[in-house]
Structure 1
């Protein structure tokens, strides 16, 4: 006896449609619950984060000077900005404990620029480690004990830097948008440099005295980011519970 099963074309189409919808629903659910953070890395080794998937992070480097940091804090307070990350050199923090205390008191995140403003690729591993330990000691004396983020002082880093920061259990943070504010190109140009920012970008700004136009540019920067619907978060919030994609450093 032969049995024949028949399925009409309409039923097949409906079945395929259900499968396709289920696939895309699963895919969007997966994407929505996994943040991918692009990184620089050694092959199968330590990584440096430079970009996130969601939101946006404002970061300010401070290596020297005592005139620009507080006016920038004033603007952030006036604009009701609660999330920003300040990367401070230990030598600067040591000389300006009252400003460091204000940064902490106003709820901003602190990362380290090492102690002295040195170019890490020019140093041996032991010297990089010594510079970071010295910075850690300074921040401990300022009652800041849980710093997890480090940025290479000059922005330059190599495999040695990645290795040392990883051994010391720091996350090395770079950036994806450079405001170039330290070159003082003009307020409009600084804003223009940042206007290309999209979700996931980590923006580099400076609160050192050499960046003379950042304070004046900051209100327009914040307005631009707000108009693009970008939510400001700290670097730690951006990379929390994130998976990573790697870009190898040769």
Structure 2
């Protein structure tokens, strides 16, 4: 299904000037590799729960499909005064991070829409084989269906991000619905893993002022991407590989998917381009806060 690309806001996201200053972002990214333990995959079901109609997926969902966030970790923006002994509040951004700081030849791999029991385990195997970690921006409706798989992703040392509950087009939602989408997803992630997500990504790359404010209230930083693999189009494994390798550069963030449609090409492409990136001297890193 056409997920993070089918929106006019997409161009404006990628047109942001240079993202946030590298000096401000530098502490957010990990510079050390971490070995991940060996695990085994689980059997795959026949299909994922995503809708086949991208327009239906992009539009506002009925309130019944999104559980209330139960005021999860939310504070009034103007009334909250942080305790000086507490961790500093997450700043409210006006645009998402597009890339990581250029710490040598480093890149970030990210996967949206999962976890999915057919594709996510194979992606984990490939990443484990090459001893690298990635980011997984999960949808709450998938996380609540596959909590054990979500734990496997986290146990392998990957960063779990918030990708809303039902993958709506955020600018079409009221502030209260955005709170439900982000808050409910953070709630299920914390309930499953013991800690909340520190990063989030807007479906279709469509952000707005409310999403930045509510994301900050939830303690999350926004991350977009610089390389769109366009794997959602199922263009063929070779084309996905070419897009990733052709856009590779220090600081790049790669957007791929592990759910939302047939992602067998995404898995096959990762198997090909990841070792090539590593042989070219790139290090695959993940942000840390």
Q: Does 1:122 align with 2:162?
A: no
Aligned equivalent of 2:182: 132
- Report SS of the residue matched to 1:111: strand
Work out which of the residue numbers 97, 114, 128 in structure 2 matches 1:49: 97
TM-score between the two structures when normalised by the length of structure 1: 0.73
Work out which of the residue numbers 214, 233, 237 in structure 2 matches 1:183: 233
Deviation of residue 170 (structure 1)? 1.3
Alignment of 1:1-250 (within 5 A): 35=23, 37=25, 46-54=94-102, 55-63=106-114, 65-81=116-132, 83-195=133-245, 196-208=247-259, 210=261, 211-236=263-288
- How many residues align? The count is 198
- Report SS of the residue matched to 1:47: coil
Measure, in 2, the Cα distance between the counterparts of 1:222 and 1:52. Answer: 18
Q: Please list the CA deviations of residues 209-247 of structure 1 after superposition, one character each: whole Å capped at 9, or x if unmatched.
A: 5123011111221122113311110133xxx6xxxxxxx
Change (3 A) 1:65 1:80: closer
Output the aligned Cα RMSD.
2.1
Measure, in 2, the Cα distance between the counterparts of 1:224 and 1:116. Answer: 34
Change (3 A) 1:219 1:163: same
TM-score between the two structures when normalised by the length of structure 2: 0.64
- The answer to whether the 8 Å contact 2:115/2:149 transfers is no
- The answer to whether the 8 Å contact 2:134/2:286 transfers is yes
Measure, in 1, the Cα distance between the counterparts of 2:175 and 2:189. Answer: 21
Measure, in 1, the Cα distance between the counterparts of 2:260 and 2:119. Answer: 5
Deviation of residue 74 (structure 1)? 1.4
- The answer to whether the 8 Å contact 1:68/1:209 transfers is no
Measure, in 1, the Cα distance between the counterparts of 2:161 and 2:244. Answer: 22
- The answer to whether the 8 Å contact 1:63/1:92 transfers is yes
Q: Which has the higher helix share?
A: 1
Structure 1 gap ranges (5+): 1-33, 39-43, 241-250
- The answer to whether the 8 Å contact 2:140/2:164 transfers is yes
Deviation of residue 72 (structure 1)? 1.0
Deviation of residue 47 (structure 1)? 3.5
Deviation of residue 77 (structure 1)? 1.7
Answer with 220-229 or 112-121: which moved more: 220-229
Deviation of residue 94 (structure 1)? 0.4
Deviation of residue 65 (structure 1)? 4.3
Following TM superposition, where does structure 1 have runs of at least 4 consecutive aligned residues deviating by more than 4 angstroms? none
- The answer to whether the 8 Å contact 1:62/1:89 transfers is yes
Structure 2 gap ranges (5+): 1-21, 27-91
Measure, in 2, the Cα distance between the counterparts of 1:128 and 1:67. Answer: 29
- Report SS of the residue matched to 2:141: helix
